[in-house]
A and B are shown apart, each in its own frame.
Chain A
Amino acid sequence: MSSGARWLVAAILLVLSRRRRRVTPVAKDEPEAAPTPARVTAPELPDRRAENVVLLLLGLGTACAVAFVVVYALDRLPRQTQLLGLSLGLAFAFLAAASVVVGRRVVSQHEREEPYAEPEHLEEQEAVVLVAQESASRFTRKKLVVLAAGGAGTALGAALIAPALSLGPAFDMESLYRTPWRRGVRLLDEDGRAYLAESIEPETFYTAYPEGAPREQLGAPLVLVRLEPGRLELPAERRGWAPGGILAYSKICTHAGCAISLYRKPLFEPTEPRPALVCPCHYSTFDPATGGTVLFGPAGRPLPQLPLAVGERGELRAGGHFSGPVGPSWWGVRLRGAR
């Protein structure tokens, strides 16, 4: 040990002994600070081995915590997230082990008994009742006052809740019927190019968007498929809605609003003979050949169909409005058609 370190140790000892001396006179005034105060907890012999284990575990925990900082500080380390999690996780694991050894080995293991709290305070209960009654005793028309106060409370509650209506157009049901599709709107693909009728192949499906309207709305996306015209069984009033067997349906499931992104054709031919549009959220299954009727699953309404027309240059256009409102059901969904 160098002389500097010796001086340091000496200085620390001096400071410590001084503090101790300063403390003693204060402690002497205290009755509970008698030389050997009665123990509150039961005495037990120390367990040095368990203590050593605790020291070791705390050391390992410290090392892991330091490792975390080192890993964090390093740049462009492969698997940095894994190493960070590992070092921090292990640091806590060692601390956990140390705490458990302290709790189960080092400190006293004496159980304690205690009576459960009194189940009731009858006297206080009675006092509360009396105070409540006596406080109201000078009212002459109690019922009326209670009624008036209740009325005021209700009205005030309603007044305070009213501004919540600013959150959204709560009574604008019109917005739920609206879609951007009307006669003549062209069908565009993902890159904004117009779909041509001749480019629609059978046995696959396409997603189409309306020209000149935002895509992020339930009424916008369509799913396009082509079936053999002879196999179509559309309702009579939808004659001419599927030129060349090309069918357009809203891509939004009428059950819970997910996008219809599975087309059961031709993959499942042996077990499920009909081509079908399927929603992957809850597997509502719609029949494109019959006008989007529900084949299976929880959907309560058919998929809305959009009438199609082929323009002069062979491009696909909407022939009118959807066969019904688009998206999940609500109370008014069957009252009117899509706008």
Chain B
Amino acid sequence: MVGRAAAGRAVIRGVVRFLDERSGTAPLLRKALRYVFPDHWSFLLGEIALYAFVVLVGTGIYLTLFFDPSVAHHSYYHGSYAPLRGLDMTDAYRSVVNISFEVKAGLLIRQTHHWAANVFIAAIVLHLLRVFFTGAFRKPRDLVYYVGLAMLMLALVEGFLGYSLADDLLSGMGLAIAYSVALSLPFVGASLALLLWGAPFPGAESFWPRMYVAHVFVLPVLIGGLLTAHLLLVAARHHTQFGGGRKTERRLVGFPTMPSYAPRSIGVACSVFSVLFLLGGLVQINPIWLWGPFHVDQATNGAQPDWYLGWLIGALRLVPGFDVTIGGYTLVPNPFWGGVLFPLLVFAILAAWPALERRVTGDRGFHNLLDRPRDRPWRTALGAALLSWVFLVFVFASADRVYVYLKISYTTQIWVYRVLVWVLPLVVLLVTRRVCRDLQAKERVEHERHLAERASA
């Protein structure tokens, strides 16, 4: 036994020495292996996003080997999926249909890719909420937070481009809306849309390769770069932790990478891979062969985008019908409000928050300990109000479905929602603040009773 352990150690030593002599990284390696990870379930969300990104890159590379980013029409479809036979379609759409039906394991990889995109963004959003409500964005981690926000924005665009590339009916409708939103920018909209699309909608043929290179190269590289910066910055300042026991502002307590944290993290990675491949194999997503190829003169009822764009659809639907004009000049076309201003406002509030909070509270100190949401009633209440605002807009995008299932007039619903979308966040604000204060009060009472009991005992 001892002999074998010594032999194993000699092999590892050989590798470590090889690396150290050539890169001088033994001190770094030693630090990395003993790096301390505080343990809390909510810290897993970022990890889930990271591993979903790994799946996206892997499955994405596979898909590029079969996808054809061209809107040329070469011939009518005569593949194995009978309902589409004889239809006029672009090479892009045809290649996605072929990935789904002719390429072995193609459908599994395609669906896994799509599911991974949904999970990726969901994990980022939940991670953002965790960071926001626990105050993890405070100095010295505000930079990490900004990088994370930038990644979320890029991820939204990346996801949209991904499902736009397939050139099915849904993706075409999405692109028409994106084109209109681009056009709606005051002053520069028309020029910007013509530059991006290369011609009025549906655009020049070069638009597809442009989308493609953005989706498979530019944005993934940007996200990958920001991801690296995000992780390096986290590592440089170490993780935050909830206080209590020996955990203080100056002392970090947790599990070291080796021996215990690395296997757990590999467990998380494998769990994410497992769930995504199970979803990809068992739960259908975006069956483009049912939507059919896109044509400018076609649209389908009951169309919904991927969940992470639902808030924008909701905003576009809720805005009353008006363009702002001055004389004959159209200053603000309608899609600007829901498609540009609303998301900009949400991200601007999120981006301004750390500085805003510093200014209002006057707290410019370093924070390694996390807040419990109840201990910061104003932040929690305002955050909950912002969240409910976005969430309500998202939910109200389903008014057409509510009409179909419950027969409540669409028009009536929208008028009610136009009011509720402003009123309910205020209610959420007040209720959340109240709940936070009550929770604090309850704790104080319990604490005092505890002290009194101990004194009397």
Contacts and interface: CB of A to CB of B under 8 A. Distances in A.
Interface of A: 16, 19-20, 23-24, 26-27, 30, 33, 40-41, 72, 80-86, 88-93, 95-100, 102-104, 106-117, 119, 164-165, 167-173, 175-176, 178, 207, 209, 215-218, 220-221, 251-252, 255-262, 271-272, 279-284, 294, 296-301, 327-335
Contact of B410 (A164, A168, A283, A299): A283
A275 B13 CA distance: 82
Interface stretch (B118-126, B151-159, B179-187): B179-187
B195 A298 contact: no
B322 to A, nearest CB: 5
Nearest to B203: A168
Nearest to A299: B321
A223 B441 CA distance: 64
Contacts of B273: 89, 92, 96
B300 A114 contact: no
A89 B333 contact: no
A265 B237 CA distance: 64
Contacts of B280: 85, 89
Given A115-B251, A280-B301, A298-B321, A96 B267 contact: yes
Given A96-B270, A280-B299, A283-B317, A113 B330 contact: no
Given A88-B281, A100-B267, A115-B252, A330 B259 contact: no
B237 A117 contact: yes
A116 B400 CA distance: 53
14 contacts: A19-B7, A81-B105, A89-B280, A92-B274, A92-B277, A93-B274, A113-B251, A178-B200, A207-B297, A215-B296, A258-B177, A258-B299, A271-B409, A328-B180
Contacts of A294: 321
Interface string B267-281: 111110111111111
Nearest to A54: B263
Contacts of A216: 202, 295-296
B303 interface: yes
Given A255-B321, A256-B177, A298-B320, A88 B277 contact: yes
B107 interface: yes
B102 interface: no
B59 to A, nearest CB: 11
Contacts of A100: 263-264, 267
Contact of A170 (B36, B195, B333): B195
How extensive is the interface on chain B, given as a class?
A: 35 or more
Nearest to A165: B195
B201 A281 contact: no
Given A252-B296, A331-B189, A23 B7 contact: yes
Contacts of B252: 113-116
Given A99-B264, A108-B260, A255 B250 contact: no
Nearest to A334: B328
Contacts of A167: 195-196, 198, 210
Nearest to A335: B328
Contact of B300 (A30, A172, A261, A300): A261
Contact of B321 (A40, A104, A284): A284
B191 interface: yes
Contacts of A93: 270-271, 274, 278
B311 to A, nearest CB: 14
Contact of B334 (A41, A262, A329): A329
A293 B254 CA distance: 65
A298 B108 contact: no
B401 interface: no
A110 B140 CA distance: 28
**Which 5 A-B residue pairings sit nearest by Cβ, starting from the closest?**
A85-B281, A300-B323, A89-B278, A221-B297, A329-B333
Contact of A330 (B190, B197, B277): B190
Contacts of A178: 200
B34 interface: yes
A286 B68 CA distance: 38
A85 B261 contact: no
A98 B329 CA distance: 66
Given A85-B280, A258-B173, A334-B328, 19 more contacts: A20-B7, A23-B7, A33-B13, A72-B105, A83-B281, A93-B278, A108-B260, A112-B253, A112-B254, A114-B251, A114-B252, A115-B250, A117-B238, A164-B195, A169-B194, A261-B298, A296-B411, A298-B316, A327-B180
Contacts of A41: 256, 258-259
Contact of B325 (A81, A96, A113, A334): A334
With a 10 A CB-CB cut-off, give which of A98, A221, A279, A300 has the most chain B CB atoms: A300
B170 to A, nearest CB: 11
A103 B264 CA distance: 5
Given A116-B250, A167-B195, A328 B183 contact: yes
A113 B193 CA distance: 55
A329 B191 contact: no
Interface of B: 3-4, 6-7, 9-10, 13, 34, 36, 104-105, 107-108, 111-112, 140, 173, 176-177, 179-181, 183-184, 186-187, 189-202, 204, 210, 236-238, 246, 249-256, 258-271, 273-282, 295-303, 313, 316-323, 325, 328-331, 333-335, 338-339, 366, 368, 399-400, 409-411, 414
A167 B338 CA distance: 27
A261 to B, nearest CB: 5
Given A72-B105, A172-B194, A330-B183, A82 B281 contact: yes
A163 to B, nearest CB: 12
A332 B274 contact: no
Nearest to A87: B281
A260 B195 CA distance: 26
A331 B329 contact: yes
A84 B177 CA distance: 36
Nearest to B325: A334
Contacts of B210: 167
A96 to B, nearest CB: 3
A112 B256 CA distance: 6
Contacts of B302: 280
With a 10 A CB-CB cut-off, give which of A171, A283, A334 has the most chain B CB atoms: A283
Contact of A113 (B195, B196, B253, B334): B253
B200 A218 contact: yes
Given A84-B108, A89-B281, A298-B317, A329 B195 contact: no
Given A258-B176, A283-B317, A332 B330 contact: yes
A220 B183 contact: no
A221 B409 CA distance: 29
A252 B295 CA distance: 12
A172 B281 CA distance: 48
A97 B256 contact: no
A215 B295 contact: yes
A24 B4 CA distance: 11
Contact of A99 (B112, B173, B270): B270
A111 B254 contact: yes
Contacts of B193: 330
A195 to B, nearest CB: 15
A104 B282 CA distance: 30
Nearest to A104: B264
